[in-house]
Amino acid sequence: MLKKWIAVPLAALFLLSAPLATLAAGNTGGTDSRWATDGWPLGQALPHFGEPTRALDGVRVKDRPFAERLAVGCLQGIVNRTEPLLFVQDDADSWPADLGLTVNMLPDWLAAVTKYKEKLSGLVIYNPAVPETANVATTIAGLTDALPVSPEQAELLSAAPYALAVVKDLRDEAAITDKLSAYRYLYDQYWDQCTRRAICGLLPDNHTQLRDFAVAAKTAVVWLDPKIPEEREVLELFFRDSKPIDTYYTGWWPDEGEGVAFASRYGVMTIASDFYENYTVYSGMSQVLDVPAVPAKPALKNGKIYVSLNLSDGDNIQYDEHFMRMLWSSPERGKVPIGWTATPALLDAGPQLLNYYYKTATDNDVLICGPSGLGYSSASNWPNKDVVRQYAAITNRYFERTGFDVITVWVGMPMYRANWFAESCPSLLGMTVQDGTGLRIRFTDSKIPVVWLGSDVKNSTGAMSYDPGNSNMKMRLSDAAADYQASGSTRPRFYIGQASAWDTRVPDFVRLAEELDAEFPDTFVFVRPDHFMLLLNEAYGKPFLASLQKPAEASSSLRIPIPDTGLTTEYDAAKAFDGSVSTSWQALDPGKAWISVDLGENFCLDRYVLKNAEAGGAAPGENTKTWKLQVSANGKDWRTADSVKGNDKAVVYRDLCGQRARYVRLLVEDPGGSCARVQDLEIYGTAQNAANQAYGFFYSIANFFANLVFDIADKFTRQFLQ
């Protein structure tokens, strides 16, 4: 997100001290179309427009004047609101070919105006002397289907052969004299007609991308800085009509920190998207994802330093569309595990862009959630417990569909808030928090690791920053390894960090791993961030995902022939334990189908997660209705640990309350649909390792008091500042 260098610390062990229209709704907005439409129901962050079903007309805008780019972007929103027909191309764009779209380029923008003239109600002229009127004109375009144009363009388009009438000339509005009066005019005259689900922030004389979204979604378009009191006062007019979690701020801010913090206080999350192109084309594409299977985690060993390397800025949708694609193309990708931050909001804004990354990922590539969930927010500015829980809950629903399970949080996260978040986001494996106050590892009440990434930690505890040449990162990790060897300890250590994507490339990470392996042979283990969190929990004697890629059996498994190939699609038991909702075990054993997994050793079982057919994109009626979860010490003698009847949920989270077992079996008594079907079954438990359990016990005591002290300090500071 930050388009500047970020000093990136890493973490170590701290001793002692279906379509988303089916998502559950958040706040209700009644039947008011400003709050809910068919393509944008409550509980869904961003709107879906139509699915592209035929060849698109394309318009090239690279290096074209601002006025032309503005007109084309708004025209696209008007045209594509009901059906995607128009594609806008800036730089060379390989996305259409990768996504199976056909684009036929038109000669110029006027050809597009000619072809889609019947969709226009006329022209709205902005005032170049007051640049903000370009945003006012964009808002009017969304409400009236009038095309925003400059005075010169108006002369051309009002004459033959176009003959478009001028429906509004903002130069004639005496109330508009400057920036503030322009946005007050927008509020007074048009805000009541705008959607309440989003406010769009776009630089009025630069940003022409995302205009299609703003127009098609009928958002108010502003560019106001809450750091400036006069502008903040106007901005508050719009935000006072927002609803936490139901309203999102899209585009970008004049000042990142001030803007995100301002919105967060209202419970409004920022979906950074200022240079995102062709929203109205990509948002309507299939939401069925090919989430890759998760490889088995490395074994936890003494004498090892586990390191997870991650790249920032994926919360920005335009980064996911453009810059991340460039980084992803590195031929060295896959040589070292990397966590790539992305946003689950792509499920709305560009599901098949997200799917491209999944389909081309190696086992060493994993997508994690950028700050701080479904939308960029400032954790230290969340207004209250209810908003945190609502935000975590909708983030969790998007996680269930996208396969995300690790999150990075900006800025600051007192533990009581981390507890609120984790309670309502049970898909979460772990989170990192960037606040610059020091490095520590703690656990929520639900046993989720929270790793603070501070910039002022001593080398002995593993702090480090990153620069493009690897010198800082290598120095910090080298110092940490030397300190580890000198300490005589053999307990594993853990380091996780996030580097600025704008300054870091895949080869930088590859060289770092090679140099450290050469300097400290058989010491460093570079791991995926999801594996990092699992290993961290294991080392601290906490429950971790024990069933991942473990040996599995089933009563039977469905095999379906693939026409004309001689091959079959296998829905075997292993697919229920591979970490992906895109694969499944299926069986035709009415009332007696089962799958079982061998955890490899006895575990103290904590909980399980059953991901049903709907989580993989099937209809809700296919969800497993009735089952028993059984456990065994020997795989022969089973006892029922949990049972559920009448389920209708896509994903079910259940406690196991310390049952001890090596084998776990799911007995499907009523499959709900035509066959028994399980997308994924996750079993969490604590390994019976005396050393880790003892360490975890003493650390839990220290963790409790550390949480208490930091939370009291946080609450006192907030009360004092208020």
Side by side, the strands of the sheet bearing 103-105 are 86-89, 56-60, 103-105
Name residue 632's beta-bridge partners: 663
Low-confidence ranges of the chain (pLDDT < 70): 1-31, 435-439, 454-471, 689-722
Q: Where in the chain is the domain with CATH 3.20.20.490?
A: 305-540+699-721
Q: Is the peptide bond before 543 cis (omega within 30 degrees of 0)?
A: no
* Pairwise CA distance, residues 539 & 686, whole Å: 10
Distance of CA 414 to the CA centre of its chain: 22
The residues that bridge with 341 in the sheet, in sequence order, are 368
User: Which positions ≥6 away from 658 have C-beta within 8 Å?
Assistant: 604, 605, 606
In this predicted structure, what is the pLDDT of residue 563? 87
Instruction: List all residues 6 or more positions away from 469 whose beta carbon is below 8 Å from its beta carbon.
Output: 508
* CA dihedral of 613, 615, 616, 618, whole degrees rounded to 10: 50
Token reading at 5: 């260098």
d(CA 54, CA 415): 51
DSSP state string for 567-607: EEEEE-GGGGGSS-SSS-EEE--TTTEEEEEEEEEEEEEEE
Of the CA atoms within 13 Å of residue 356, those in its CB half-sphere come to 22
CB of 191 closer than 8 Å to CB of 234: no
273 C-beta neighbours (distance < 10 Å), count: 31
Q: What is the dihedral of CA 449, 452, 457, 459, to 10 degrees?
A: 40
Q: What are phi and psi of 636, to 5 degrees?
A: -125, -45
Q: Nearest to residue 490, comparing CAs of 713, 700, 688, 303? A: 303
Name the segment(s) of the chain with CATH classification 2.60.120.260.
552-688
Structure tokens at 538: 């294991």
Structure tokens of 326? 């460039």
Token pair 């038109």 is found at 106
385-402 vs 415-424: helix crossing angle, rounded to 10: 50
Distance linking the first and last C-alpha atoms of the chain: 29
Specify burial of residue 99 (Cβ count, 10 A radius: 0-12, 13-18, 19+).
middle
C-alpha triplet 680, 446, 246: angle, nearest 5°: 75
Phi and psi torsions of 193, nearest 5°: -95, -10
H or E stretch covering 97:
helix 95-98
Amino acid making up residue 226: P
Specify the pLDDT at position 697: 60
* Furthest CA-CA distance within the chain: 86
Quote the tokens at residue 198. 């989003």
Interatomic CA distance for residues 639 and 709, integer angstroms: 43
Strand 651-670 to 626-632 pairing: antiparallel
Name every residue whose Cβ is closer than 8 Å to that of residue 667 and which is 6 or more positions away in sequence: 592, 593, 594, 627, 628, 629, 630
Q: What is the C-alpha to C-alpha distance for residues 433 and 165, in angstroms, rounded to an integer?
A: 54
Dihedral sign for Cα atoms in the order 697, 699, 702, 704: negative
Contact assessment for residue 622 and residue 633, using Cβ atoms and an 8 Å cutoff:
no
Helix then strand count (H, E) for the chain reads 20, 30
Neighbours of 591 (CB within 10 A): 11
Give the model's pLDDT for residue 471. 62
- Cα dihedral value 264, 268, 269, 273, nearest 10: -120
| pLDDT tens for each residue of 447-457 | 999 987 754 33
What would the CATH number be for the domain defined by 305-540+699-721?
3.20.20.490
- How confident is the model at residue 7, as a pLDDT? 31
Picking from 431, 376, 384, 418, the residue whose alpha carbon sits closest to that of residue 710 is 418
Q: Token match 């690790």: residue?
A: 406
Residue with tokens 């920032």: 312
Fold category of 552-688 in CATH: Jelly Rolls (2.60.120)
Residue 210 to residue 48: CA distance in whole angstroms: 14
Provide the 10 A C-beta neighbour count for residue 70: 30
